[in-house]
A and B are shown apart, each in its own frame.
Chain A
Amino acid sequence: MSAQLSPRPRNAPHATPRPGSPNRGDSARARLTVAPEVARRRLRARLLMWAAALVTVASLFTLVAFHVFAAQSAFTLERLSKERTNEQLRYQRLREQVASLSSAEAVIVAAAKLGMVQGGTVVSLSVPSARPAAMPPDKTPVESPGSSYGKAKSALDAAP
């Protein structure tokens, strides 16, 4: 901002200092400025008002948008939570179904339905000349039931 010094009027009478008032010198007079023109001032005020309005509207819009987004996310979260619960329930029921169908009892019932019958007495044949053959050790890696269970279990969270 450039402050212009106003020229002193040539024929202006010397002002008589009032008693008790500070004696202002030239330096005090030098700080006096000329107000901008009315049109410029109005423009500035208008701009400020618009800016404030814009910021307010933008803030409000952001707030509303955030609220909507949060609400939508809450719904999504709830939906996912429900889905998770349902899937866990489905998993439990399927597991029960698998266990039931693969149980020895169920297999026997299924076999009977297919017309299979229990075999009679097993007759063993003896071969007098037979000698136990040296059998190579079984090197097939055996995975214990519990080894992979931990991984599966943690993936399934609280499901057993």
Chain B
Amino acid sequence: MRRLGVCSALLILGFGALAARVGQLQLASGGKYKDLSVELALHTVPLTAQRGSVFDRNGRDLAMSIEKTTVYADPTLVTDPAAEAARLAPVLHADERALLQRLSEKGSAGSPRRFVYLAHTIDDGVARIVQALKLPGIGFVPESARSYPAGAVAASVIGRVRSDGPGLDGVERQYDRLLAGKPGELVVEQDPLGHDIPNTQRTRVDAQRGTDVVLTVDEDLQWQAEYSLLDQVKATGAKSGMAVVLDVTNGDVLAMASVRGATATARAGVAGPGDNNAPLTDLFEPGSTNKLITLSWALEHGHVTADTKFEVPDSIRVDPHVAPYRDAEPHHGAPDGIEHWTTADILRESSNVGTIKIAQGMRNQEVADGMRAFGLGEPTTIDWPYQPAGLLLSPSRYYATGKYSTAIGYGVAVTGMQMLDAFATIANGGVTRPPHLLDATIDAKGARHSAVVPAGTRVVSTNTASVMTQMLEGVVASGTGACAAIPSYVVAGKTGTAKKALATGGYGDVATMASFIGFAPADHPRFATLVVLDENNLSYGGEVAAPVFSEITQFALQQYGVDPTDLTNTQYSAARATAAAAGASCALPHGSDLVAAQARLQARQARAQSQGAVEALPAARAGGVTPGRARSTAGAGTTADSLPPDPSKHT
């Protein structure tokens, strides 16, 4: 009996101790061990939200996301990092040492590292090979990859995204919050080898797909703009170029092209993702295209009418201490060198002196107000990251020359879109037509939400706009913009050839910003187009930019089925005659013609180098400026601009 009692006591003591320990584990430390167990078994995999698509105005994909496989590792489960890195490196085309480093990042005992990316969005074939390797600790998650099916078309507009999602440039950056969506996560329970345990805790928070963005851009027109601009950049050896097409009836930006010229190391090409979207980011002095604003404001405020006559010499000194302003060429055709031009003539001939004479009748504040009223000095209504406002001189700092320089487009820095906006205002009868790039958004349920388009404001009267339009038609029919003419349509527009400012001060002899901005059909405007070429080797806007304008705008008119307005080709015939008299073909070289044009350009550059001279200005041009004249203008060290005026001199 005694022995039985002792045994019973021992058993009771043993079980009691066990019960006490169980109690301690369950009650006192239960929470801690539960957390530890959950931490070891549960594995959270982030689920990236599929990024929204970017469409053109016709619903064609410009950027889209496709689900591909991403390979990750749980370093705590990797048994032999070196061996796994060696097997994965050739399949993933990754650096073996980098892989080894990632696979070895186990973290600390307190906070083990359970997730590292090994390769993002690999091809399906590669994913299958990696899966077949069956390596411990290696896992796979679906991840969205960005695809740009239109290739390089509008690449600088669309921009790009970083590998892990956020937009870096362009539309991808501007509308990142819309496009990005909301990431989700998948929580799974895994065994010590990293395999999912079936029928265990599994929580999935689905990622929410991003909103689709519909742009106003037309892919076909965008391609045409890039194609025409690129060929001209190649043919003229320009440093870069930009072109924009705007629908005047609603402010839609239909095309926005940026092209970079050839360098010693790279061929000329359409700006890629990550490059500047030049029309919205690059500032330049507009030159003669700015005369549109000066003259419109002078007309609006009654300083001149289209028929007001001026005595216009070929140079004018506004201050005895400053070199005179000159026209692009001397007025040899007129007796005593003084032309008797109307306001319309001054615009047609793009006379600096004539414009300055008009500006002399205006107060400083009036000139500045005109620039502001047309939208200079503030960003356009287009949503764009880091869009500059441009630079405008304050009237208080005009001093002796500021007003006159501003009047002819110097001392002012603008973006291409700002200048096009000003022309669109005239095309729209004097009311601004705020440009926009976002047409609509489409949510995950397919509901389309149209973008809010800001209303326009009146800048000048309908009458002023109408008079300006007629004057701009004259620029194309018999002035410096003859090469911009389009068969069967009446075109209104203005050339610009602004010398580029030197970093050391003053202006260079050769480097120019050659531009043409206009709209068509002039009587019922539908499209406003801007073309700018930076540092081309032929120099003049009427010669190099106007043909590009003509080709792009003609494509737009035909593509959108705009009814012809000049079946008798009155303006076109007159413009052809003007161009022919100047010896300009106005042809935009493509294909074999482009090859020939590039060969001619190279020969000319070689000849200029052998002569030890700076690149000479062309003898044959739509504007009819001879190298001698151009040099004489440059020699004045002042602002010289524009294509020549007198059609009779275009020989």
Residues of chain A whose beta carbon lies under 8 Å from any beta carbon of chain B: 88-89, 92-93, 95-96, 99-100, 102-106, 117-118, 120-122, 124, 126-128, 130-132, 135, 138, 145-146, 149-154, 158, 160
Contacts and interface: CB of A to CB of B under 8 A. Distances in A.
A138 B563 CA distance: 11
Given A150-B447, A154-B446, 13 more contacts: A88-B67, A93-B66, A96-B64, A99-B149, A103-B223, A104-B222, A105-B150, A117-B591, A121-B593, A124-B487, A124-B488, A145-B57, A150-B446
Nearest to B60: A99
Contact of A92 (B67, B488, B564, B568): B67
Nearest to B211: A160
Given A95-B64, A104-B220, A160-B209, A149 B448 contact: yes
B257 to A, nearest CB: 12
A120 B588 CA distance: 9
Contacts of B565: 132
13 contacts: A99-B64, A99-B149, A100-B149, A103-B60, A104-B153, A120-B593, A121-B585, A124-B487, A124-B488, A124-B569, A126-B568, A149-B446, A151-B446
A98 B64 CA distance: 12
B67 A152 contact: no
Interface in B194-220: 209, 212, 214, 219-220
A35 B52 CA distance: 84
Nearest to B568: A130
A99 B150 contact: yes
B67 A105 contact: no
Contact of B61 (A96, A106, A128): A96
A103 B448 contact: no
Given A104-B219, A160-B52, A160-B209, A96 B147 contact: yes
A130 B569 CA distance: 9
Interface string B241-252: 000000000000
Given A105-B152, A121-B587, A153 B446 contact: yes
A152 B60 contact: no
A103 B64 contact: no
B448 A131 contact: no
Interface of B: 50, 52-53, 57-61, 64-67, 147, 149-153, 209, 212, 214, 219-220, 222-224, 440, 442, 444-448, 487-488, 561, 563-565, 567-569, 572-573, 585, 587-588, 590-591, 593
B128 to A, nearest CB: 14
B214 A96 contact: no
B569 A153 contact: no
Give the residue among A92, A95, A128 with the most B Cβ atoms within 10 A.
Answer: A92
A103 B587 CA distance: 26
Contacts of A154: 445-446
Nearest to B444: A158
Nearest to A97: B149
B442 A153 contact: yes
Contacts of A100: 149-151
Given A105-B151, A150-B447, A154-B446, A95 B58 contact: no
Contacts of A122: 487
Contact of B442 (A95, A106, A121, A149): A149
B319 to A, nearest CB: 47
B440 to A, nearest CB: 7
Q: Across chains A and B, which 5 residue pairs bring their CB atoms closest together, nearest first?
A: A153-B446, A124-B487, A99-B149, A104-B223, A145-B59
A150 B212 CA distance: 12
Contact of B591 (A99, A102, A118): A118
Contacts of A146: 59, 214, 440, 442, 448
A131 B440 CA distance: 41
A74 to B, nearest CB: 10
Contacts of B593: 120-121
Give the residue among B60, B65, B588 with the most A Cβ atoms within 10 A.
Answer: B60
B57 to A, nearest CB: 7
Given A131-B568, A158-B50, A145 B445 contact: no
Contact of B212 (A99, A135, A145, A160): A160
Give the residue among B151, B153, B224 with the most A Cβ atoms within 10 A.
Answer: B151
Nearest to B57: A145
Given A96-B66, A160-B209, A132 B564 contact: yes
A18 B152 CA distance: 117
Contacts of B591: 117-118, 120
A130 B488 CA distance: 11
Nearest to B593: A120
A103 B219 contact: yes
Contacts of A96: 61, 64, 66, 147, 149
A122 B568 CA distance: 17
A118 to B, nearest CB: 5
B223 A89 contact: no
A126 B59 contact: no
Contacts of A124: 487-488, 569, 572
B61 A95 contact: yes
Nearest to A147: B448
A21 to B, nearest CB: 49
A126 B151 contact: no
Contact of A103 (B52, B67, B153, B569): B153
Contact of B572 (A95, A121, A126, A128): A126
